[in-house]
Structure 1
Amino acid sequence: MTAVFPFDNSYARLPERFFTRQPPAPVRAPKLIALNRPLADHLGLTLPEEDDTLARLFAGNDLPNGAEPLAQVYAGHQFGGWSAQLGDGRAVMLGEVVISDGSRFDIQLKGAGQTPYSRMGDGRAWLGPVLREYIVSEAMAALGIPTTRALAAVETGEIVLREGRMPGAIVTRVAASHIRVGTFQFFAARGDTDALQALLDHTIARHFPDAEGPAGLLDAVIGAQARLIAAWMGVGFIHGVMNTDNMTLSGETIDYGPCAFMDAYHPEMVFSSIDQFGRYAYANQPQIAAWNLAQLATSLLPLMPDRDAAIEAFTDAANGFAGRFDAEWHAVLRAKLGLATAEDDDIALAFDLLNRMAQGGADFTRTFRALCSDTPQDAASAFAAPAAFAPWLEAYQTRLTRETRPATERAIAMQAANPALIARNHRVEEAIQAAVGGDYTPFHRLNSALADPFTDRPDIADLQQAPTEGERVTQTFCGT
């Protein structure tokens, strides 16, 4: 069977300075690790059944008809420092598919070889980051959080040199688009208003057809990012590298490098090995999003006829992110506590719990999940000093007496807002280390379990447990 992708490659029709056309670099001995068949069906792909054929396809050795492979160029602020030219240094986009409802998705091979934007890198990925991206991006999708998706993963049969000799791999990433804040920054920094206008028109048509001009796009992106960051915070997710080249205009989570889900809650939690000063710590993510959006606003200024008026309007819009985020975050917190009505002290109650959790070393996911049960006092077991939880629980139960929703209905709603299972660092690392040794059983088991994160299941109870002291993973790493 020949692979059929319903390609319609609109980004490839933009001016040539938006990208470099090039095919993926073939690999020596591709071998299929995983194929996300439900996602392939959603995308309307017709795929062969044979693993060897699939491996060659998703390694880039064979290209589907209609592919127009390219590497995108962009710029960005990385940890606050300006980089005038970045781009897809190890990724090649095959093209865009259009599904039955008209939605458009990029298909990209990550780890597909050197491009003009590799900046002395080898353009490859090793197995660990490929499996991490597959696991965590699919976990995020199952949690209902906007994200890029993982369509396939393959071994390359080649060695990648990182801290040692590592097995090479490629992940096929699916995104509503790969347009980033840094894409706009690239052209704005060069004074290329023609390219900026073309990018603006393309982005509005693709993602926000009701937006009008630069101001409309900025407003829509601010709203999308406010919802996204609040969703991250609600599951204890830390992106780890919120550079402007890692913020999409579509409002999707992208680039799962040094990301992590928290175990024990603390607002200053950092996992990324390269975030030495905590710039991208858990609690800093809203402020960093606002900073990134201010860079987008600056990049849009050349398209405005009255620069002074635009500066004032865009400054107000960017400053307004805080209020829009707070509204989204407060809604998330109320949902996690099962509060269908709003009272003035609700958010103080929620933050009191978070403060007690930080002081008591309580597990973020297990504490909130315990509150969904018939015995919410069980959440005390997550605290180093369980007595510290008791005053909060008393105040919370008093607050619940003013809720009119039946307790059973509230419990169901809370279980839909508080996952039983997340992609815990030690389990992701366990899957990676087993795979490096040739055993993909933990990888497949973890992916299968994470596809249904809101259901308690006895057969995956071990995956729900917080790590022991010896199991804790305290650092995560970029894949470059």
Structure 2
Amino acid sequence: MQIPFDNSYASLPDAFYTRLNATPVKTPQMLAFNHDLAAVLGIEVGDLSEAAQVFAGNETPDNAAPLAQLYAGHQFGNWNPQLGDGRAILLGEVIGTDGIRRDIQLKGSGPTPYSRMGDGRAWMGPVLREYLVSEAMHALGIPTTRALAAVSTGESIWREQGALPGAVLTRVARSHLRVGTFQIFAARGEVEHLKTLTQYAIDRHYPEAQGPMDLLRAVCSAQAALIPAWMAHGFIHGVMNTDNASIAGETIDYGPCAFMDAFAQNRVFSSIDQMGRYAFGNQPNIAVWNMAQLATALIAQVDDRDAAVEEATAIIHAMPEQIEANWLSRFAAKIGISTPIAADVKLLEHLLALMQEDGADFTNTFRALGTDAAREHFVDREAFDAWAANWQDRIKAEPDPQALMKRTNPAVVPRNHRVEAMIEAAVAGDMAPFERLSKALATPFTETDPDLHRPPTSDEIVPATFCGT
């Protein structure tokens, strides 16, 4: 197997990482392989059994530069001075056929110096969830890390549930630079390392940026576009810690994530989010908070601190308005409006309030708009009819609202109950549900498998999701 590595992060100072290989596993077997992504990356794969050895960590490919990255972060608002890749190894980088540089990382590849008493492993459930959900996000057009391979290890690992089958995910990202990568050097007062990291991030992601404040502005803009993209599809990240906030503006780390069924602004799925910090409707606020932490870290390298504080404050204070504009653009398209105006906010908020009051399914309600089936999602159908009359008046001037809604509102998303059923089957050795979901989620705006559109019944509801570490 040939991987055209072109590594840059490994050329940074040793303080940025620890060099080490993945820990070999007993009997790796390929569970899933993303041939389309492999082609984009320029990876030539012949025998999948050989590929399984590489993507399980048993064999290190030529020209790889395996390492575990160092970072810190705020976790649920609490500062942790040192985190790092506790169960991941960055194999290296490739420049794809599209000219984009990407990381190739093994997740669940064994302990590292940053494991903090953990085993460095992952079990099959979270690996297949991240594979499925990250590829679904990509198909929805949302910036995200992607999944190249999922490999079973032939070993059992121990979690609260007992012994579970181990697996390794190969994750692909435009980089694994996080807010926490900057925070650790700022907190340690290692200004030269901070300057080196800042220039590296600029060169890799935002070459038009001139200095740390321009980098901050670019990252804020990327995050201000990302969060409304999540929300427009009912996605809840679940663990928006600063070590999970990508500088590249991608969705990263699919732990206790979920797509909502019944709409609620305060919906929380993460089993550890007891206070609702990362609830659906609070995600914009957290994105701004995370960017404020990035600003604080970046300012630490600037000589004129007062001027930097003033500029950074203006950048952060402008972010909510950016998010609101992107939110309006995304949600207006969901109701067939291609050129939204300020008054459309009230129209959208009214619809969402009706959905929340009646427990309407997020995905199916938006998909049904403009059809007779739409009102069936509401208990108070007269209230919906009144809203729909105002909406119809609004979209009369729109060129083709139905076509816009069809390509904006998916027919299928990876619903929690389907994902959990898929995991249960896979653990028992049946990958058919995984393959069925993968096929449907690859074309989410096409109604190809109506049974997958169905919300959970009362006994299928999955009220909480877990990180899986």
TM-score w.r.t. the length of structure 1 is 0.96
Q: Which residue of 2 aligns with 1:59?
A: 56
2:180 to 179, 182, 188: 182
- 1:477 is the counterpart of 2:458: no
Contact 2:337/2:398 (CA < 8 Å) preserved in 1? no
Aligned mates of 2:279, 2:66 — CA distance in 1: 36
Deviations 1:446-475 (A, max 9, x none): 011100000112xx1110111111111110
Q: Which residue of 1 aligns with 2:295?
A: 297
Tell me by how many angstroms 1:344 deviates. Answer: 3.5
410-419 or 126-135, which moves further after superposition?
Answer: 410-419
Amino acid at match of 1:35: F
Aligned mates of 1:139, 1:342 — CA distance in 2: 27
Amino acid at match of 1:308: D
147-156 or 298-307, which moves further after superposition?
Answer: 298-307
SS of residue matched to 1:417: coil
SS of residue matched to 1:169: strand
Aligned mates of 1:93, 1:105 — CA distance in 2: 11
Q: Which residue of 2 aligns with 1:417?
A: 408
- 1:439 is the counterpart of 2:439: no
Aligned mates of 2:28, 2:342 — CA distance in 1: 58
Question: Which residues of 2 match residues 23-422 of structure 1 at below 5 A?
Answer: 23-48=21-46, 50-163=47-160, 164-371=162-369, 373=370, 375=371, 377-401=372-396, 403-405=397-399, 409-422=400-413
Aligned mates of 2:217, 2:321 — CA distance in 1: 13
Aligned mates of 2:267, 2:98 — CA distance in 1: 40
Aligned mates of 1:411, 1:234 — CA distance in 2: 17
Aligned mates of 1:86, 1:110 — CA distance in 2: 15
Amino acid at match of 1:413: L
Tell me by how many angstroms 1:62 deviates. Answer: 1.2
Tell me by how many angstroms 1:17 deviates. Answer: 0.5
Aligned mates of 2:192, 2:411 — CA distance in 1: 49
SS of residue matched to 2:300: helix
Aligned mates of 1:73, 1:344 — CA distance in 2: 44
SS of residue matched to 1:469: coil
Distance 1:413 1:404, change over 3 A: closer
Contact 2:335/2:401 (CA < 8 Å) preserved in 1? no
99-108 or 36-45, which moves further after superposition?
Answer: 99-108
Contact 2:153/2:168 (CA < 8 Å) preserved in 1? yes
Tell me by how many angstroms 1:404 deviates. Answer: 4.2
Aligned mates of 1:357, 1:173 — CA distance in 2: 36
Aligned mates of 1:116, 1:132 — CA distance in 2: 26
Aligned mates of 2:120, 2:234 — CA distance in 1: 31
SS of residue matched to 1:128: helix
Aligned mates of 1:358, 1:414 — CA distance in 2: 21
Amino acid at match of 2:425: A
SS of residue matched to 1:23: coil
Amino acid at match of 1:399: R
- The runs of 5 or more residues in structure 1 that have no matched partner are none
SS of residue matched to 1:252: coil
- The runs of 5 or more residues in structure 2 that have no matched partner are none
SS of residue matched to 1:71: strand
SS of residue matched to 2:414: coil
Amino acid at match of 1:444: E
Aligned mates of 2:383, 2:116 — CA distance in 1: 52
SS of residue matched to 1:250: coil
423-432 or 343-352, which moves further after superposition?
Answer: 343-352
Aligned mates of 2:273, 2:398 — CA distance in 1: 45
Q: Which residue of 2 aligns with 1:452?
A: 443
Amino acid at match of 2:413: I
- 1:467 is the counterpart of 2:467: no
SS of residue matched to 2:303: coil
Amino acid at match of 1:473: V
Deviations 1:232-258 (A, max 9, x none): 010000000000000000000000000
Tell me by how many angstroms 1:400 deviates. Answer: 1.8
Deviations 1:41-93 (A, max 9, x none): 01000112x23212111101112111010000000000000000000000001
Number of aligned residue pairs: give it.
Answer: 468
SS of residue matched to 1:109: strand
Aligned mates of 1:456, 1:413 — CA distance in 2: 16
Aligned mates of 1:119, 1:388 — CA distance in 2: 54
SS of residue matched to 2:155: strand
Tell me by how many angstroms 1:303 deviates. Answer: 1.9
Deviations 1:107-155 (A, max 9, x none): 0000000000000000000010001000100000000000000000010
SS of residue matched to 1:40: helix
TM-score w.r.t. the length of structure 2 is 0.98
Aligned mates of 2:36, 2:239 — CA distance in 1: 29
Distance 1:468 1:386, change over 3 A: farther
Deviations 1:329-388 (A, max 9, x none): 0101111111123334211000100000000000000010011x4x2x421111233333
SS of residue matched to 1:107: strand
SS of residue matched to 2:286: helix
